[in-house]
Amino acid sequence: MRSLVLTIFNRSRRNLARWFTLSMGSILVTFAVILYFLEVKDQLGIFDQELYNTSRLMAAGVEDGLYQEQQRISLEDVPILGGEALPFDNRIVYARWYTPKKQLLEFFGITPSERLNNKLGFQTIELSDRPNQQLRQLTLPVFQNGQLIGYLEIAASLAPVEETLWSLRLFLIVGVPMALSVISLTGWFLGGIAMQPIRQSYEQLQRFTADASHELRTPLTAIRNNAQFGLIEPIDPCQQQISLENIDRIAESMGMLVSDLLFLARNEGKLELETINLVNLVNWLQPLAAEYSHQAKEKGLEFTSEFPQESVMLRVNPDLMRQAVANLLSNACRYTPSGGRVCLRVFLQSRWVVIAVQDSGIGIPETDLPHIFERFYRVDNVRSRQTGGFGLGLAIAQQIVQAHGGEIIATSRLGEGSTLQIKLPFTSNFSV
């Protein structure tokens, strides 16, 4: 059963990790692709700007009169006109000068066709004799005083851009899978953390169901035994009476257990606002104290109560809070042998209102103290069963107090007695 639970949780954890990796991975890949294309655009933009600057310098040389004076241009002179070193001078694969009628006038580098057939502007081209080398070509008209004096076409190798982009591609090719592995590991780790509370509450629920069914099975068996005993022939009316009385008693105890279980299941979580009332704690606790004083006296216990002089107004669900205090008082009376003392005290402690139930009973061993608020937990199963406890009273009390924003603290010394304190926050909602 446990291994089945583990398999289910591991599968859910894997699924969580997978979905996390998928979603984070797709974000990462999209981001990487966008980054790559932005870099391509950026690099090409810088390259085009430099190519354009070079072409402007070349065209300026022509505009400066070279063309008018010589009526033809020597392109060998153009890229280093005026002795200026052009940024592209050694990467320019070719440069061509065309007349306004698009007839070739002069060129440098690869031999072009006699007429200018290319579109104006930037183009990325590949030469047929150098298929792996991409060129960026710029063709633009050159004007002087508003008059078209020719066309300039230059091309430079895109190798530097390619190199930069290749480094980026390499970085992404190595980096993205590495980041994906980190993401999937993180997903697995986070999946584990996310599943932990679900796993714990599932195991708790399983334990609770197992305990509850065990608790119900015992009285059911007792009912069945009593019924069978009462039906044995020849029927003895006296024995039948005893059997029926036993069945009635056990059924009553089962009814209490079922209502306790229902209570725990229904009242889990927050309180409903309409059930909250402003009560005077002292007035409200006095009848409960009187009730338990009576019970304590019957058991031969000394019962005392101490309340503050002033009234303590608190916003609580009175029925639930009564149940919580009653569970503590009932424990104190139950686990204190006759001749002992039980004391109910209410006092204010900084921002808390404390309802303390103190007894001089058998006490709780230190090792059991952290567990007494767990459902079905009993310090000594045999002893508690003799005294009729299910091990639910403190769990119910804690659930009620926590729903009110408070806490229960237990202190005890084995053989000397125990003190259980309900601490309720004394906020602006509450007034003295």
Secondary structure class of 349 (helix, strand, coil): strand
Torsion sign over Cα 181, 184, 190, 193: negative
Output 150 or 393, the one with its CB closest to Mg ion. 393
Secondary structure class of 300 (helix, strand, coil): coil
Strand partners, 418: 412
CB of 329 to ligand ATP, least distance (A): 9
CB of 387 to ligand ATP, least distance (A): 7
CB of 255 to ligand ATP, least distance (A): 13
The residue ranges of DSSP E strands in 350-385, in sequence order, are: 352-359
> Is residue 361 a contact residue for Mg ion (CB under 5 A)?
no
Q: Which does 401 bind (CB under 5 to 8 A by kind): ligand ATP, Mg ion, none?
A: none
Query: From the centroid of its chain, how far is CA 166?
Result: 39
Output 331 or 421, the one with its CB closest to ligand ATP. 331
CB of 24 to ligand ATP, least distance (A): 46
Instruction: Name the token pair of 358.
Output: 């103190």
Closest C-alpha to 270, from 396, 379, 383, 400: 400
CB of 264 to ligand ATP, least distance (A): 10
10 Å CB burial of residue 158 (0-12, 13-18, 19+) is: buried
Q: Which does 215 bind (CB under 5 to 8 A by kind): Mg ion, ligand ATP, none?
A: none
- Summarize as ranges the residues that interact with ligand ATP (CB under 6 A): 327, 331-332, 335, 359, 361-364, 372, 377-379, 384, 389-395, 418
Q: What is the CA radius of gyration of the chain?
A: 46
Q: Which of 55, 331, 358, 418 is close enough to bind Mg ion by CB under 5 A?
A: 331
Output 239 or 419, the one with its CB closest to ligand ATP. 419
Q: Which of 230, 393, 406, 417 is close enough to bind Mg ion by CB under 5 A?
A: 393
Q: Which does 73 bind (CB under 5 to 8 A by kind): ligand ATP, Mg ion, none?
A: none
CB of 365 to ligand ATP, least distance (A): 9
Q: Taking CB under 5 A as the criterion, which residues in 114-133 touch Mg ion? A: none
Q: Which does 359 bind (CB under 5 to 8 A by kind): ligand ATP, Mg ion, none?
A: ligand ATP
What are the residue ranges of helices labelled H in 62-138? 67-70
Output 78 or 320, the one with its CB closest to ligand ATP. 320
- CA-CA distance, 70 to 91, in Å (whole number)? 27
Q: Which does 406 bind (CB under 5 to 8 A by kind): ligand ATP, Mg ion, none?
A: none
Output 123 or 323, the one with its CB closest to ligand ATP. 323
- CA-CA distance, 316 to 276, in Å (whole number)? 5
Instruction: Name the token pair of 44.
Output: 């090409």
Strands 313-316 and 341-349: unpaired
CB atoms within 10 A of CB 63: 15
Site string for Mg ion, 411-430 (x = CB under 5 A): --------------------
Piece of the chain touching Mg ion by CB under 5 A; list 161-169, 247-255, 273-281, 329-337: 329-337
Output 91 or 378, the one with its CB closest to ligand ATP. 378
- State the Cα torsion 98-99-100-102 to the nearest 10°: -50
The residue ranges of DSSP E strands in 239-299, in sequence order, are: 277-280
Output 363 or 406, the one with its CB closest to ligand ATP. 363
Which distant-in-sequence residues (6+ apart) come within 8 Å of 370 by Cβ? none
Secondary structure class of 274 (helix, strand, coil): helix
Backbone torsions φ then ψ of 390, nearest 5 degrees = -95, -15
- CA-CA distance, 123 to 119, in Å (whole number)? 8
Output 187 or 391, the one with its CB closest to Mg ion. 391
Q: Which does 25 bind (CB under 5 to 8 A by kind): Mg ion, ligand ATP, none?
A: none
Output 285 or 362, the one with its CB closest to ligand ATP. 362
Count of positions on this chain that bind Mg ion (CB under 5 A): 2
423: amino acid identity, one letter:
K
Q: Which does 392 bind (CB under 5 to 8 A by kind): ligand ATP, Mg ion, none?
A: ligand ATP
Contacts with Mg ion, residue ranges (CB under 5 A): 331, 393
